[in-house]
Amino acid sequence: MKAILVGLFYLLILLPATGQDISVLLKEADMQEYLPNEKAAFAKYKEVLKLQPTNQYALNKCSELCSRIGKRQTNAKLIEDYFSAAKAYAGIALKINPANSESNCVMAIALGRTSLNRSGKEKINSAKEIKKYVDAAIKNDPKNFKAWHVLGRWNYEISNLNLFERSAVKIFYGGLPDASLSESIRAFEKSQSITDGFILNYYELAKAYKRND
């Protein structure tokens, strides 16, 4: 009995410290991302996951950062590794809470990255999956500005397919969900209305406006 009580005593001491450690690490990770030092932020979020593997915020951040870091790599193997990791982190997060808006959003982003080097049926299936996850992200949080941005990108890319490509997709792969340039612009504008500090959204919106002229 004495041994059990001693064990419980030490457990009660250690639990708050672990919670405090996680809080400190998350603040440090957020600061590194803000600087921005994405690789340092990624390392900090991974430290959080060592202490708390089911921390949804850290999982979402790791996925998002892997997508962003991977995009800037020049080595094909590193690109593939980062994008695969982005998808894996998002997958774990969605198993914990399938309704989490940010988890659905980062999965949509990860699928968008991994589909870049795909072709044919794989790419079409990825496009369908991206739409599914981004719709879920917006449904669960209509103010998720990143999800609206992804929806804008999705509509922009799909609506940019020419008639031959659309016909081929319909014949061989059963078609894609409806997409249009006007819906792309609407989604980008919605993202901007939620937050006006998202520079990438301004750029993509400008591209959509130009194509619409």
Residue-wise pLDDT for 36-86, tens only, equals 999 999 999 999 999 999 999 999 999 999 999 999 999 999 999 999 999
| Residue 113 maps to a domain | yes
Range from 4-8, 15-19, 79-83 that averages highest in pLDDT? 79-83
- pLDDT recorded at residue 110: 96
Whether the predicted pLDDT of 8 surpasses 50: no
d(C-alpha 81, C-alpha 92), whole Å = 16
What does the block give as tokens for 209? Answer: 């406006």
Q: Does a structural domain hold residue 12?
A: no
For residue 25, being part of any structural domain is answered with yes
Neighbour count for residue 58 (Cβ, 10 Å): 25
Residue 32 has pLDDT above 90, yes or no: yes
Which helix (H) or strand (E) segment holds residue 177: the answer is none
pLDDT of residue 120: 63
User: Among 59, 84, 118, where does a domain finish?
Assistant: 118
Query: Are 112 and 34 contained in the same domain?
Result: yes
The model's confidence at residue 17, banded by pLDDT at 50, 70 and 90, is: very low
- In a shared domain, residues 205 and 156: yes
Q: Give the domain extent around 30.
A: 19-118
Using the 8-state DSSP alphabet, how is residue 196 labeled? S
Clarify whether residues 36 and 112 are in a common domain: yes
For position 6, what pLDDT does the model report?
A: 42
**151 and 186 belong to one structural domain:** yes
Residue 131 belongs to a domain: no
pLDDT confidence of residue 198: 93
Q: Are residues 114 and 166 in the same domain?
A: no
Same domain, 172 and 104: no
Tens of pLDDT, residues 108-127 = 999 998 876 566 677 777 88
Kindly state the tokens that stand for 6: 């001693």
pLDDT digits (tens, 9 = 90+) for 125-169: 788 899 999 999 999 999 999 999 999 999 998 888 777 777 777
Per the structure, the count of domains in the chain is 2
Q: Are residues 36 and 113 in the same domain?
A: yes
CA 76 to CA 84: how far, in whole Å? 12
**The domain spanning residue 26 has which CATH number?**
1.25.40.10
- What is d(CA 87, CA 66) in angstroms, rounded to the nearest whole number? 9
Residue 3 reports pLDDT greater than 60: no
In DSSP notation, 20-38 reads HHHHHHHHHHHHHHHTT-H
Instruction: Mention every residue, 6+ apart, whose C-beta is less than 8 A from residue 35.
Output: none
